[in-house]
Amino acid sequence: MNATPFHDPGFITVQQHILKEQSRFPGASGEFSWLLSGITLAAKMIESQVRRAGLNDILGAHGEINVQGEVQQKLDVYANHVMSASLGVRDSVAVIASEENEHPTVLRNQSPNARYIVIFDPLDGSSNIDVNVSTGTTFSIIKRPNGVFCDNDILRPGYEQVAAGYVLYGSSTMLVYSAGNGVHGFTLDPAIGAFILSHENMKMPAQGSYYSVNEAHIDAMPACFQSYINRLRSGELGQKYVSRYIGSMVADFHRTLLKGGVFMYPPTKSHPAGKLRLMYEANPVAFLAEQAGGRATDGRERILNKMPENVHDRTSLVVGGTFEMTQFEKCRRTERTPAYDSPITNPI
Ligand code: AHM
Ligand code: MG
């Protein structure tokens, strides 16, 4: 008698992919995939609310009560809540830290199974929600040091990340992550509620045609950034670059990952250290960029080498393909800004 035929569904879910990935972590025995499934669950909950953002405003106008009878929360507060809740029940998570919380939250200090620290921005670019523009969730995962956790244990450089990624709530919802073995993208199929592998082993083009920066701040940037932007748009680098700027880091980076070019948030007079957050914005993006063949610097040193002093440290960021990053480095070496310059030790 023939066995029931097995039908290959013809697609790979993020869960299947993570299970395969975790075989590279000796002794991980399912805990890493369970941890990442906490992020995908939260992502689906956040996306369902993001998709209703305009409706919730209307339906919640009377007494701030939504259709489920719940008191309305701002979306970034909601996103923080679901990320914390779904990671909080994962035994492998020792500590979480969020852009929304001043201090890291220690969940399990004694358990030897709690081997990971997850640092995240639950809803980056949330001011874009009101105007129906893309937002994202970013995350960075590092190993927890042995022994009892102290707050400062979280302050580790980005090269120690074991995995990182983001969820982009755009025209579709995508999860992009790397566990140190390439960058993989999954698109949410709303019909079945699963993230399906759609972009395997993503590579950032070595050269692109877009530059992405808030040019309103150009007069307040160090000279090397001004000169670099001028060269990008003048045609001096062999082509005239075209400008694209969404003002939502995940969306701006996602385009850069797919199409190449450069995305940057330079230091400015109002944000001398840069605006973006090192540990949960720049680090995940830099990890992905390097895994995809690109590079990321703060202008002085490789992002992934930066040692944070506080979980909410800010940094400047220049991230892109090898050609654009090499050109940036040339500008950096020739255009000096006394107030900004310090010796460049390990520039990219
Ligand atoms: P947020 O964490 O408060 O949302 O701010 C971060 C966002 C990034 O997504 C984006 O790259 C940047 O702020 C845009 O800043 P600006 O409006 O100054 O260009
Ligand atoms: Mg943010």
Query: What confidence score (pLDDT) does residue 337 get?
Result: 66
- For residue range 304-316, what is the model confidence (pLDDT) as tens digits? 999 999 999 999 9
Question: Which atom of ligand 1 has the smallest separation from the CA of 126?
Answer: 4
Residue 126 and residue 233 in one domain = no
Residue with tokens 């063949």: 293
Question: Which atom of ligand 1 has the smallest separation from the CA of 214?
Answer: 19
Residue 147 and residue 276 in one domain = no
* Weakly modelled stretches of the chain, pLDDT under 70: 1-6, 25-29, 56-73, 337-348
Say which CATH number the domain at 332 has.
3.40.190.80
- Cα(275) to centroid(ligand 1), Å: 7
Q: Which two tokens stand for residue 249?
A: 């880091």
Query: What confidence score (pLDDT) does residue 60 get?
Result: 42
Residue pair 132/162 in contact (Cβ under 8 Å)? The answer is no
Question: Which atom of ligand 1 has the smallest separation from the CA of 99?
Answer: 2
Q: Give the residue, out of 275, 278, 315, 316, with the most ligand 1 atoms within 8 A of its beta carbon, to mutate for a pocket test.
A: 275
SS (H, E, C) 107-170: CCCCCCCCCEEEEEEEEECHHHHHHCCCEEEEEEEEECCCCCCCHHHHCCCHHHCCEEEEEEEC
Whether pTM exceeds 0.75: yes
Query: What confidence score (pLDDT) does residue 67 get?
Result: 45
Residue pair 298/316 in contact (Cβ under 8 Å)? The answer is yes
- Cα(121) to centroid(ligand 2), Å: 6
Widest Cα–Cα separation across the chain: 82
Query: What confidence score (pLDDT) does residue 346 get?
Result: 45
Domain boundary pick from 201, 224, 243 = 201
Residue 65 and residue 194 in one domain = yes
Beta strands 135-143; 105-106: pairing state: unpaired
Whether 31 lines ligand 1, by a CB cut-off of 6 Å, is: no
Residue 126 and residue 240 in one domain = no
Residue 184 and residue 227 in one domain = no
Residue 196 and residue 247 in one domain = no
346 inside domain: no
Query: What confidence score (pLDDT) does residue 344 get?
Result: 46
Residue pair 331/284 in contact (Cβ under 8 Å)? The answer is no
Per-residue exposure over 133-147, b if at least 16 CB sit within 10 Å of its own CB, e if not:
ebbbbbbbbbebeee
Q: Tell me the CA distances in angstroms from 114 to 28, 97, 144, 246, one per residue in order.
A: 11, 15, 8, 38
196 inside domain: yes
64 inside domain: yes
Residue 169 and residue 280 in one domain = no
Residues in CB range of 242: below 8 A, 6 or more apart: 209, 210, 211
2 inside domain: no
- Cα(3) to centroid(ligand 2), Å: 53
- For residue range 262-275, what is the model confidence (pLDDT) as tens digits? 999 999 999 999 99
Kindly report the number of other CB atoms within 10 A of residue 14's CB atom. Answer: 25
Domain boundary pick from 201, 233, 263 = 201
Say which CATH number the domain at 165 has.
3.30.540.10
Separation between Cα atoms, residue 110 and residue 101, nearest integer Å: 22
345 inside domain: no
Backbone region of residue 69 per phi and psi (left: phi > 0; alpha: psi in -120 to 50; beta: other values): left
Residue 294 and residue 161 in one domain = no
Q: Which two tokens stand for residue 295?
A: 């590079």
Whether 212 lines ligand 1, by a CB cut-off of 6 Å, is: no
Residue 18 is part of which domain span?
14-201
Query: What confidence score (pLDDT) does residue 343 get?
Result: 46
DSSP assignment of 34-48:
HHHHHHHHHHHHHHH
24 inside domain: yes
Separation between Cα atoms, residue 310 and residue 187, nearest integer Å: 34
Query: What confidence score (pLDDT) does residue 5 get?
Result: 62
Residue 185 and residue 253 in one domain = no
Give the ligand whose atoms come closest to the C-alpha of residue 214: 1
- Cα(201) to centroid(ligand 1), Å: 28
Separation between Cα atoms, residue 340 and residue 334, nearest integer Å: 13
Residue 50 and residue 194 in one domain = yes
Residue 151 and residue 240 in one domain = no
9 inside domain: no
Going by C-alpha positions, the residue among 222, 228, 227 that lies closest to residue 339 is 222
Structurally, the chain folds into a number of domains equal to: 2
Whether 214 lines ligand 1, by a CB cut-off of 6 Å, is: yes
Query: What confidence score (pLDDT) does residue 25 get?
Result: 65
Backbone region of residue 73 per phi and psi (left: phi > 0; alpha: psi in -120 to 50; beta: other values): beta
Whether 268 lines ligand 1, by a CB cut-off of 6 Å, is: no
Separation between Cα atoms, residue 123 and residue 35, nearest integer Å: 19
Backbone region of residue 239 per phi and psi (left: phi > 0; alpha: psi in -120 to 50; beta: other values): beta
Domain boundary pick from 155, 174, 201 = 201
Residue 42 and residue 171 in one domain = yes
Give the ligand whose atoms come closest to the C-alpha of residue 127: 1
